[in-house]
Structure 1
């Protein structure tokens, strides 16, 4: 699955390079991919923690605790992703200034932020 996602991002970079203004397109895409990477790492961390917890519970013979742990992690990941999507949408005109000073890149990132928020 991670391999498919890596290929997806590489194809996006190639397609963005074919757009009429490739410099702005690649800059804004790299800012959005960086933000997406940060949020994705939160999910990967929860995935690793849940894997250990479920393995321990199943090894101890507690399938109900393992089932509960999966539901807690899934709910927590969904809640955090929703909150971060709302924060990204609310700060879409300002969040790109963490990475760049360019006004054109900031406007392009603001245009891409609704699509970024949907991918969480």
Structure 2
């Protein structure tokens, strides 16, 4: 994950307060605090930070599945450093996604606006 590290900014909160190392994880959480093409009410750029912040209070045990999120090997890589260029942001998201998948991990993106789904 060489080039991708250039595009990532560490976040003070880790999703759910749980921090597994990247090497041991199967899933990697990556924030994309972008709302550059929002046409009405901006603010979705605060989504990744808000999700991380409020996940600190979430129960980690699912009573339905019996799965405890603390036992799931998930790392939080921080946020993609966004710019005002939509093309550049999408390039960075693609680079991070590709390199995470090359390391046999599943990237889980927190947005941000719908553009990141492209």
TM category, shorter: 0.3 to 0.5
> Which of the pair is proportionally richer in helix?
1
> Which of the pair is proportionally richer in strand?
2
Structure-2-length-normalised TM-score: 0.36
Structure-1-length-normalised TM-score: 0.36
